[in-house]
Chain A
Amino acid sequence: MSDVAALQQERNELFRAVHNSKIPKRVPISISIPFEAVAQFGGLDLVQAQWQPEIVAEAADRLCELIFSDTCPFFGSMRFPSFYQILDSQSFVMGSNGFIQHPEVTGMLPEDYDYLIEKPYDCLLERVIPRQYKALDLKDPVKMALTLTKSYLAYREDMGAAAPIIGMLTEKYGYSTIGGSFGGFTSAPFDFLADQLRGFKGISMDIRRMPEKVAAACEALYPIVFKQGLPANPSIYAPVMFPLHMPTFMREKDFARLWWPTFKRLVDEYASLGVRTQIFCEDDWTRYLDYLYELPTNTVMIFEYGDLRQIKDKLGKKHIITGLYPMTMLARESKEKCLDKAKEIIDVLAPGGKYIFQFDKQPLNAQDINIENYRAVVEYVRDNAVYSNPGEVHGLEFNPADYKAEPRRSFESKYFTVWEEFKARNPAVSEHGKEKLQNLEEILFQYLMYLLI
């Protein structure tokens, strides 16, 4: 076996151990650097690079050369301008510096609640998407059909351009093929409603003005976000990723009755199918640690802020903890201070395993990345967060049989054609086409929902 292949296997073992409640040889390290930062690091024009993603390959390679990580630091981008600009997006627009961002916009009005609750998917397609994407003008159907098709082709092309770069880097540097991979990406039902539908402001008004409708809307959205995240081939090594947004901005009372119930059930239903969950607890979740404890065993929890000791004590035996290293220190503090912080963090979080090293945020641009400090911190963790008892089982273990799915609404819509329906309308179609057609339906569903996440 080549050195690189052996390295890759060793790294896979680190993640396999952590995901199976075993102590790894050392703390695995998972660094991710977004597309924008990679492009700027390479001295490329950010706007050009986002239109021609293949040109970042060399810069990504150089970064991988410089920064140690057990997973591939380059992961492409979630936000390319091609499809957003073709669709004339209101919700993802480019700032003066070339970064695509999300301004506070409203895709759904209070009077849309009843329709959303009755026919959620229809409401998203008929009302929300056209409001957020002005080029999808329902009054100009032919043009609209062409525009949507064009945007999908652009999406597929640009997303596709990043994949071979990741493949090349993974092979060249022997990155883990297990750590860092997701089975899916979706939102908590309440966050889905807040982010792109009602907006931060809208949802804050609704919580007080019409809480029953908010609760009903979360139930209605459940089957959609469930489907959006569900992996085609579940593996315990590929958890579904949820960035979590609204809880820290809510009172616990509102969180407990409006945010938590649908999320908890969703994650339990995934667990019953053997699908694990990774959550990004953005902002400071200290108030909610007891709730987090209740999630299925070995949920991967990325924290941004919080008290290390408290988090480890409350959650460390049941869940996998990561994050918490303040990324902004790297660009602003001396190397010594950065290393002290690394030591402080691994001293608390590493004992007993169930820990992956990661920063609390991704760097956004080249100024966030002080390569020297980055290297020093990551290498310190690699060389010092080493265990003496690898292989030992530690803490609770994940078992899908411990979870069950509660009754809930099913996913159905006239805009999602199931095979039987298609066959009834087109009797001539061959059974051989079934899988292909259902797959195409799925691809369209995923694309349309991507526009709202």
Chain B
Amino acid sequence: MLDTDLLTKAVGDLDEDSVIKQLQEFAATNPSPEEAQKAVAACQSGMGIVGELFEQGEYFVGDLIFAGELLTNAVEILKPYLGGATSEKIGTIVLGTVAGDLHDIGKNIFKSMAEAAGFEVHDLGIDQPPGNFVEKVKEVKPEIVGMSGVLTLALESMKLTVDALRDAGLRDSIKVIIGGNPVTKEACEQIGADAFTTNAAEGVKICQGWVK
């Protein structure tokens, strides 16, 4: 039997060897979809611990990247046993790096943490013009739009993207959160976003607050 607390702790400690060993032993027992789903949930709780330790200044961005990879590998091991079982989805996010910016490390960190928290994330990719955000929002009707950018020029693109969402009549039905090095309170106001953060864990909390 899988000790879910132990698994959660190993993920939180970023103890890769232990996580993989526990999951391989678990997989060898040929678990049912429900059991496998419990293991996934335990890993996701571990990610929650990682996020907290990040906010407390114990972990840093490099550790978040490692954690994202660890979670991906863990789910990979469990996939064959999951069958049709899916976890409860708490909300939908359309996410992308805005036009003119090709950076995606920060965006990807936020994505894996948001997914671990139970969001369904539609990732548009990098250098995405406003039109692509608008199209995707029309298509999947998310509660939240997340925009990322590392360069200061991304701020202008974020503003244009919010404007485009407004012009398309979509702005009032969604919350907009922006993240990345150059975002500030002032920039957030000018852009017309609802929230800003330079901390992925905090971003996830804000999003959770919105879908409660």
Question: Are B66 and A204 neighbours in the complex by a CB distance under 8 Å?
Answer: yes
Question: Cα distance A208–B15 when bound, in Å?
Answer: 9
Interface hits, A357-392 → B, CB 8 Å: 361, 363-365, 367-368
Distance A361 CA – B181 CA, assembled complex (angstroms): 11
- Known contacts A93-B102, A101-B103, A328-B184; A208 and B60 CB within 8 A of each other: no
Q: Enumerate chain B residues within 8 angstroms of A103, measured Cβ to Cβ.
A: 102-104, 126
Q: How far is the CB of A91 from chain B (nearest CB, A)?
A: 11
Assess the B66–A205 pair: CB atoms within 8 A: yes
B151 touching A250 by the CB < 8 A rule?
no
A208 contacts B59, C-beta separation under 8 Å: no
Pairs of residues from A and B, 9 with the lowest C-beta to C-beta distance, nearest first: A97-B100, A204-B62, A249-B61, A204-B65, A101-B102, A103-B102, A249-B62, A364-B153, A365-B153
Q: Is the CB of B101 within 8 A of A328?
A: no
Are A95 and B152 within 8 A (Cβ)? no
User: Which of A97, A102, A327 meets B153, CB within 8 Å?
Assistant: A97
Flag if B62 contacts A328 (CB, 8 Å): no
Complex partner residue of A363 from B104, B129, B152, CB under 8 angstroms? B152
| Of A102, A249, A328, the contact of B102 (CB 8 Å cutoff) | A102
Q: Let me know if A104 and B62 touch, CB within 8 A.
A: no
B182 located at the interface, meaning its Cβ lies under 8 Å from any Cβ of chain A in the complex: yes
Cβ-based interface call for B14 (8 A):
yes
Does A332 sit at the interface, judged by CB under 8 A? yes
Kindly name the residue among B99, B104, B126, B152 whose own CB sees the greatest number of chain A CB atoms within 10 A: B152
List A residues 308-343 near B (Cβ within 8 Å): 327-329, 332-333
Q: Which residues of the partner chain B approach A209 to less than 8 Å between Cβ atoms? A: 16
Instruction: Flag if A250 contacts B153 (CB, 8 Å).
Output: no
User: Which residues of B are found within 8 Å of A248, using beta-carbon distances?
Assistant: 60-61
Q: Pick the contact of A328 from B59, B103, B104, B152 — CB < 8 Å?
A: B152
User: How many B residues, CB 8 Å from partner?
Assistant: 32
Residues of B within 8 A of A101 (CB): 101-103, 151
Q: Residue-by-residue, is B125-166 near A (CB-CB < 8 Å gives 1, otherwise 0)?
A: 011010000000000000000000001110110000000000
Indicate which residue in B62, B100, B155, B187 contacts A95 across the interface (CB closer than 8 Å).
B100
Number of A-B contacts (CB under 8 A): 87
Distance, CA A334 to CA B69, complexed state (A): 44
For A204, A361, A368, which residue has the most chain B Cβ atoms within 10 angstroms?
Answer: A204
CB contacts (< 8 Å) of A332 on chain B: these are 184, 186-187, 190
Those of A85-115 within 8 Å (CB) of chain B = 93, 95-97, 99, 101-104
The chain B residue with its CB closest to the CB of A327 is B152
CB of A411 within 8 Å of the partner chain: no
Q: How far is the CA of A440 from the CA of B111 in the complex (A)?
A: 48
B182–A328 contact, CB under 8 A?
Answer: yes
Q: How far is the CA of A96 from the CA of B160 in the complex (A)?
A: 15
Interface residues of B in 49-67 (CB under 8 A from A): 58-63, 65-66
Does the CB pair B190–A249 fall under 8 Å?
no
Query: Can you identify 22 A-B contacts, CB atoms within 8 angstroms?
Result: A95-B100, A97-B99, A97-B153, A99-B100, A99-B151, A101-B103, A103-B103, A200-B105, A201-B65, A201-B105, A203-B62, A204-B61, A207-B62, A208-B66, A246-B62, A248-B60, A248-B61, A251-B62, A328-B152, A328-B186, A332-B190, A365-B156
The residue in chain A whose Cβ has the minimal distance to the Cβ of B67 is A204
B105-A364 in contact (CB<8A): no
